Amino acid sequence: MVCMTSRLYQQIDETDDSWRSSMIVILDKEKYNLTSFGAVEENIIEGSGLTAREMQRIFAQMLPKALPGKSFAEMWDMPPGQKEANFYQMLWDLGQLDGYSLSMFENERFSSKELCDITNVITVRSGMMQTTKGDLTLYYIVGILLRSIFRGYKEVTDMIDEYSGIVRESEKNKKLASMAARQNNRILELEQLNIEKQEKLNQSQKEIDKLRKLVAEQEEQIKHDKERIAILEQVVAEEEAYEAGSGHDGFLVREGDAGYTSDTTRARSANVIVFGGPDKWQGQVLSLAPNYICVSVDNNTFDKKNIKGADAVVFKTDYLSHRQWYAVSDYAKKCGRKIIYCRNNIPMMFEQIERALK
């Protein structure tokens, strides 16, 4: 028998270092919360000196059957009547009180480290009471069985926790699915509102584009009207100056004597297209220049492509529709054809053409 203390149970002194070592996981959990319990017990034994090492030696002599990789059933084959066999049977019977068979744990296998952890715990706790070699054997039997039971219990609780986690996750997923369904419904509502708003925006944009196009057309019309008014004013001034015998150059009236030449043979034989003017006026033009083409103010089907082959284009400004004016004017400018603006004076028109052809 190895006597670790003088009494079966000691009066606990909380100031005693050995007591504090035995309660180290509870009292110093801040210090050891990252250390396994087995490692803590090893540290206690290491610091306990010869007494703990003697206890480990006794264990090594006493437990030759405690082999790593063996199960409890393989380690012990206890004949009936032995103290150890009766103790084990008592544990078995206690389990039977709740219908719990220890046989399910008899085949649990242990590694060297796991067996060492069991002996370390017994070594540390045996230091607080009178301990016999027989006691150590019983402690060891209890240690192996309890560790088997606790291991199985941990597996069960882990399974329960895992299942509980699955249930919790399932409930969580149900809540998330419900939330997602509500959010999807809200998204559909908002998308429908966006569609309706977008349709209104599209309609408004169409109206805006229509108004912008109308404004642009009106601005273009104003620009053309200003140009036409300026041309009309210039033509009137030129014709009045011509008829008054004043000198002028092309469309621009200038001071001094510079009248138009009377030789307009080239102008009257050129390929010229005249737009506008009453039929009587156009007849007079054709009588003096048979090669000319006169287009009636009401003619909206004239092929503008003929302008490309013309030597000059004439507008009778006071007798020409807006539609003809702008359509022919734009096309003639694109083709690079000179436009002669006149009013009533036919001789002046010929002289303007003559100068334009030089």
Q: Where residue 353 sits, what CATH number does that domain have?
A: 3.40.50.10700
Position 109 pLDDT exceeds 70: yes
Sort 11 into a burial class: Cβ within 10 Å, 0-12 / 13-18 / 19+. exposed
Does some domain include residue 248? no
Determine the pLDDT at residue 205.
92
Higher pLDDT, 279 or 1: 279
Determine the pLDDT at residue 27.
45
Determine the pLDDT at residue 3.
34
Position 30 confidence tier, pLDDT thresholds 50, 70, 90: very low
Higher pLDDT, 296 or 113: 296
pLDDT > 90: what percent of the chain? Answer: 18
| Residue-range definition of the domain harbouring residue 283 | 261-357
Tokens (6 digits) for 159 = 């399974």
Position 177 pLDDT exceeds 60: yes
Higher pLDDT, 43 or 257: 43
Tens of pLDDT, residues 31-79: 444 556 666 666 666 655 566 666 666 666 655 455 566 666 666 566 6
Phi, psi torsion values for 294, nearest 5 degrees: -105, 125
Q: Do 160 and 22 sit in the same domain of this protein?
A: yes
Q: Do 286 and 161 sit in the same domain of this protein?
A: no
Does some domain include residue 215? no
Looking at the structure of the chain, the number of domains it has is 2
Helix 83-96 crosses helix 133-243 at what angle (to 10 degrees)?
50
| Domain termination residue (choose one: 169, 195, 210) | 169
Q: Do 26 and 165 sit in the same domain of this protein?
A: yes
Position 250 confidence tier, pLDDT thresholds 50, 70, 90: very low
- Average predicted confidence (pLDDT) for the chain: 75
Distance CA 352, CA 336 (A): 17
**273 touches 306 (CB < 8 A):** yes
| Domain termination residue (choose one: 144, 169, 194) | 169
Position 271 pLDDT exceeds 60: yes
pTM of the model: 0.41
> Assign residue 65 a region: left if phi > 0, alpha if psi is -120 to 50, beta otherwise?
alpha
Per-residue burial over 173-203, b if 16 or more Cβ lie within 10 Å, else e, is eeeeeeeeeeeeeeeeeeeeeeeeeeeeeee
Determine the pLDDT at residue 262.
63
Specify the 3-state DSSP secondary structure of 252. strand
Sequence-ordered alpha helix ranges (H) in the chain? 17-22, 24-27, 29-32, 37-48, 50-62, 72-75, 83-96, 112-126, 133-243, 265-269, 279-288, 322-335, 346-357
Does some domain include residue 186? no
Distance CA 76, CA 24 (A): 33
| Domain termination residue (choose one: 108, 138, 169) | 169
